[in-house]
Structure 1
Amino acid sequence: MGHVQDRWFKDEPDPNRPGKTKRVPTSRYGVGKRYRARVAGPEGEVSESFADGEIKAAREWVRKTETSISLGTWTDPKAKPPEGDGVTIEVFGSKWLADLDVDEASREIMEMRFRKNIYPHLGGQAVTAVKASDVRSWDSKLRKQGLSDQYRHTLFKNLAALFNAAVDDDLISKNPCSGKSVKMPKAPKHKVVPWEEGQVWAVRRGLPKRFQVVTDVGAGLGLRQGECFALAVEDIDREARRVTVCRQLKTVRNRLVFDLPKYDKVRQVPLPEPVNRSIEEHMREFPPVEITLPWAVPDGKLVTVRVILTSVRELPIRSNDFDREYWKKALKAADMPHGRYENGMHDLRHFFASVLLDQGESIKAVAEWLGHADASFTLRTYTHLMPSSDERTRGVIDGVYSRRDGPDGPSTAHSDHQDH
């Protein structure tokens, strides 16, 4: 175990206090650096000297050195390490991703990003060897590959998070992504442009009858795609005219699972009568199916619910299959852009939010019904869709001034004041 030696003082028996010691100067008192920090290294003792007043720095050096030795990443600073020596980005990243506290679907996506766009460029380098110039070069290569600013922004944040973990583990003292010469790609800010009503109905008509109800639960309840495909009979309270959004359907490790909605946020949404009728009509023609799937992870606890939306073969709906086989074709039939990232089912949520905000509904209520983690996110996303307050302000002030000459208006009050 490491320790710090004080070379200016030593302990000797105190003749005046039997069994006690006292501090006395050594022959080296006042000469050279006072402290010597020592740690047992893989090939013998490792040591470093510190000046008088640097006892805290000496103890911190012992702590960091012992940590790096135990992780197998320590290198002798006095010897120039060979290229790539130490734990590599890929080795450290794989362990870091495996331990990350995220849901399995998110972990799988992050692993794919690292495998495709980080490890091929930086994976073989030692964590301790990556410099700001390496990060700049990496991002330059991504630009030349034609990756979007939005995707590069996400990759940069993931890589920066990895290096933050390396800093926390005392492998490196500074995150190379935070260097002044490193510019994080900016994610473009796109204003949400909600669909018009006619577009919603046109897409609905373009879907096979079995799937038309998906537009109603998306545009009329604000559900995400995975929440639409996991909506069950037991989630609908017709007496209270309310829907409980308590699960989603998603793919983890190529296996369909049920899980909590995004942000683990269970919510209740008002059930409008037209949406209720649409769901009832759908269930009469396409009866709900009992679906049993694991919860959250492929080997999770099995959960059974009566799902309202199922495939032609009465199986759970995979989102990629649905988009390819039905949604994109419905967009095309409605004469709407249908590229890979254009007009996804998420646009039904934007329509839901825009209609409510246009009618003066509060941001707090819309955020709750959409299942956003924070109402400020809802405000940032949809603030431009809120009705202008100009007319309302003019109306309020007009009303005040229209009463100016009334019995309690400013003019009367002014006259009363003069009388006094």
Structure 2
Amino acid sequence: MQAGSPRSRSGTAPATWSRYRVAVDLGAGCGLRQGEIFAVSPDDVDTTRRLLHVVRQIKMVRGTLVFAPPKGGKLREVPLPDAVATRLREHAEQVDHVPVTLPWGTPDGEPRTVMVYLSTANGSPISRPSFNANVWKPAIRAAGVEDTRQNGMHVLRHTYASVLLDAGENIKALSLYLGHADPGFTLRVYTHLLPTSEERTRRAIDAAFGRGPTDPDGLATA
């Protein structure tokens, strides 16, 4: 996959980024893993129920790209926010869906063809190493973000989790959306993002009293 040359930090992201921008929406807006993002199909979008079915990923097995179930075999449904649904529609208007054929599960598995949102400019499936090297890293560098392991594409999933926890979503639901094996694992990974009990108490009582946040003098603010 060939990526265009990054522009300066004061400019915009690389020109190729527009082709792959929806990857950010699926990661930060639905909590998908990188391989799951590359395998999303229009057939996975349930507009009636406003859900996204996470049923496959693209991964490398013995040097060969394959379709496979999500990590741990945990197929799941995640809420599809209107903002992400809109981005998917816009992406489909700008970039054609392409059929990608890969073996299922192992390099010698039965071939399956899936119409996917994301592919290279020549219609090939996306591999994680190539995407990271030729798209993700140039894009974050162009945006002035340090190119470190902590700023890999997994940060989108952490963003999704932190937004939901800050909004009051419970650990069990978040665990289901992320496709974790159990809520205890989710709690161990993200417990540092949970609002403190004191803050939750203040918010709950203020809401019950019909009051908004207060300023330092104790006066209610709009």
TM-score by length of structure 1 reads 0.45
Alignment partner of 1:362 is 2:170: yes
* Whole-angstrom distance in 2 between the partners of 1:396 and 1:313: 53
Gaps of 5+ in 2: 1-10, 208-222
Larger Rg: 1
Q: CA deviation at 1:268?
A: 0.2
Q: State the match for 1:329 in structure 2.
A: 138
* Whole-angstrom distance in 1 between the partners of 2:112 and 2:106: 12
Equivalent position SS for 1:349: helix
Alignment partner of 1:350 is 2:165: no
Q: State the match for 2:25 in structure 1.
A: 216
Q: State the match for 1:244 in structure 2.
A: 53
* Whole-angstrom distance in 1 between the partners of 2:122 and 2:136: 18
Alignment partner of 1:277 is 2:89: no
TM-score by length of structure 2 reads 0.83
Q: CA deviation at 1:243?
A: 0.5
Percent sequence identity is 49
CA 1:356 to 1:396, structure 2 compared with 1: closer, same or farther past 3 Å? closer
CA 1:397 to 1:298, structure 2 compared with 1: closer, same or farther past 3 Å? closer
Q: State the match for 1:338 in structure 2.
A: 147
Which letter does structure 1 place at the counterpart of 2:96? P
Alignment partner of 1:265 is 2:78: no
Q: Tell me if the contact between 1:249 and 1:257 (Cα under 8 Å) persists in the aligned partners.
A: yes
Q: CA deviation at 1:310?
A: 0.4
Q: CA deviation at 1:223?
A: 0.5
* Structural RMSD (CA): 2.1
CA 1:264 to 1:239, structure 2 compared with 1: closer, same or farther past 3 Å? same
* Whole-angstrom distance in 2 between the partners of 1:380 and 1:203: 37
**Which residue of 93, 96, 112 maps to 1:287?**
96
Q: State the match for 1:393 in structure 2.
A: 201
Q: CA deviation at 1:392?
A: 3.6
The total of aligned residue pairs comes to 197
CA 1:356 to 1:205, structure 2 compared with 1: closer, same or farther past 3 Å? farther
Equivalent position SS for 1:329: helix
Q: CA deviation at 1:337?
A: 1.5
Q: State the match for 2:214 in structure 1.
A: none
Q: Tell me if the contact between 2:76 and 2:176 (Cα under 8 Å) persists in the aligned partners.
A: yes
Flag as ranges the 4+ runs of structure 1 deviating above 4 A: 202-207, 394-399
Q: Tell me if the contact between 1:220 and 1:352 (Cα under 8 Å) persists in the aligned partners.
A: yes
Gaps of 5+ in 1: 1-201, 400-420
Alignment partner of 1:256 is 2:74: no
* Whole-angstrom distance in 1 between the partners of 2:101 and 2:163: 35
Alignment partner of 1:376 is 2:184: yes
Equivalent position SS for 2:124: coil
Equivalent position SS for 2:122: coil
Q: CA deviation at 1:291?
A: 1.0
Which letter does structure 2 place at the counterpart of 1:242? L
Q: CA deviation at 1:321?
A: 0.6
Q: Tell me if the contact between 1:206 and 1:334 (Cα under 8 Å) persists in the aligned partners.
A: no
Q: CA deviation at 1:294?
A: 0.5
